[in-house]
Every structure is written in C-alpha cells, then in structure tokens.
Amino acid sequence: MAVKPIYFVHISDTHLGPTAVYRDRHGVIPYPCAERLVDIINNLTTTPDFVIHTGDVVYDPDPAAFELAAALFARLNVPIYYVNGNHDGHGELATYLPMGPKTDLSDDPEMLSYAFEVKGERFVVVDARGPEEIDPQGLFSEAQLEIVRNEAQPDGPPLTFFMHYPALPMNSKWMDENMLVRNGRSFHNLLLPAKERVRGVFHGHVHQSMQVMCAGIFYSSIFSTYTQFAAWPDDDDVQHDFEHEPGYGFVHLLDGQMIVHQHTFRRP
C-alpha cells in the first residue's frame, strides 16, 4: 500500500505585540507580516496537513498579544500547533492558543510538551525554556529529557521533533554563545538510538533558515516571519538583517524521503 505524503508548514518567531500596529524596539511592525503569511498558507497550491509554529509567537507574554495571535491564526484553514519560545512565558501558550488534536506529555503547567499523529507518523513537541537568568539560552529539564528518551526508541513510526532553540552549535560566535540549549548535546545523544526513525528536528529562535546534519540527525530552522539575524562565523555580536525578507518552510514527508522548501515573501 502506498504511503500517503504528509505536508506541513514551518513558521516561527512572529513576535506579535498587543495590537496590530505595535512596533518592536527596532521600529518594525510584526503583525502585517504574520497576517500576510496566513493568507499565503490558506492559498497554497498544496494544502498542508498542519502548521507548526516553533515559538516566540509574541514579543512579551501579554494577554492582549496572545488574544491577537489566537484571532489571527484562527483564520488558518488547517490545524496549527505551537512550541514554547523564550518570549512566550511559562505555560501561557496552552492557555490562550487553540491547537489541533494532541496528547500532553507533561503535567507541568509551565511546560508545553505534547505529541500528535498524522497519517501514521508521530510528531513530538518539547519545551527547553529555561530560567529567566539564562535567557536567551535554553535548558532542558530532566523531565523533558526523559520525554525525549521515552520517545526516541529504536522501533516505532517515523518521528519528528519540534523545539524552539537550536540544540547544536551553528558556527556563529554570537549565536553559539547566546542562543543554544545549554544541554543540547544531551538531547542530540538521546535521539541517536532512534536515528533510523527520526525525520528531523525543526526549530526557530535564530531568525534564519539554517540546516545542520550531525550523526545522521537533521536539524532545520526557518526564517522569522518579520526580521532576520545575520549568522556569519566571525560575528561577535547580534547583527540584524533588516533587508532580508520574511519567510516560511514547506516540508514534504514522503516514503523514505524528506524535502524542505524555504520560501520568502515581500514584507507588506
């Protein structure tokens, strides 16, 4: 029997504020880009099975910002799932933002970790948001690592992980010093027993489309929906690339193959 393809859209780092005209500290208005992206997704030639937002839905965990985000993403014609980002607070995403069918993997109200299944494949969301004093770095709790250990067994259906932070170094000085999960290598090592099952790990946070392949595990980030970071090897400090267009990913999960398309769109 032929395996049905799965398609999903990967978006990240919308950084919405409490109003549609909110400007971030650089003077950029995030909402119009996110609104434009919703329209793009709803009009894609191929309808995705779901959308995954890998975190930083809002700029600050303000109820008005979450309500604005909920109203905007409710306009999508397909289910959407969210990952907790460092800007999203502790547990607020699950309170304010409806998602598709899922099974919670943690009973900690401050941790957003769950799984869902589509066409026989398994998708797992893990939460690496750490204490405020290490922000913007992440940190997996022992409980979250145990979830990964339990999921990443050698046998089972194809498996995809979603998280906010990059787990492994990106070969950019400022990113590697400030943006990684502190125990990302532990996370990576836990995936190795399941590497024949693992499709990949998709994340945000770096405001760039970057791919890392390590020991048979594929990692993929995607552009922010409104502003990007530069990530050259010798960059000592954060550099914003305001000229780069926002974007999204369109992922094809096929029988024995995965294809990741990155698309950009003009800022409204």
Identify the pLDDT of residue 174: 94
> How do residues 39-54 score in pLDDT, each as one tens digit?
999 999 999 999 999 9
92: tokens are 């607020």
Domain 6-264: assigned CATH number: 3.60.21.10
Backbone angles phi, psi at 151, to 5 degrees: -80, -35
Identify the pLDDT of residue 2: 54
Secondary element (H or E) of residue 141: none
Closest alpha carbon to 54 in 190, 252, 224, 189: 224
Looking at the chain, the whole-number percentage of residues with pLDDT higher than 90 is 91
53: tokens are 């937002």
257: tokens are 């193959």
Contact 218, 210 (CB under 8 A): no
Contact 43, 250 (CB under 8 A): no
The predicted model gives 135-146 an average pLDDT of 98
Identify the pLDDT of residue 231: 87
> How do residues 102-135 score in pLDDT, each as one tens digit?
999 999 999 999 999 999 999 999 999 999 999 9
Collapsing DSSP to helix, strand or coil, 229 comes out as strand
- Angstrom distance (rounded) from CA 186 to CA 182: 9
pLDDT at residue 5 is higher than 60 = yes
Domain residue extents for the chain: 6-264
CB-based contacts of 45, cutoff 8 Å, min separation 6: none
Mean pLDDT in the chain?
A: 96
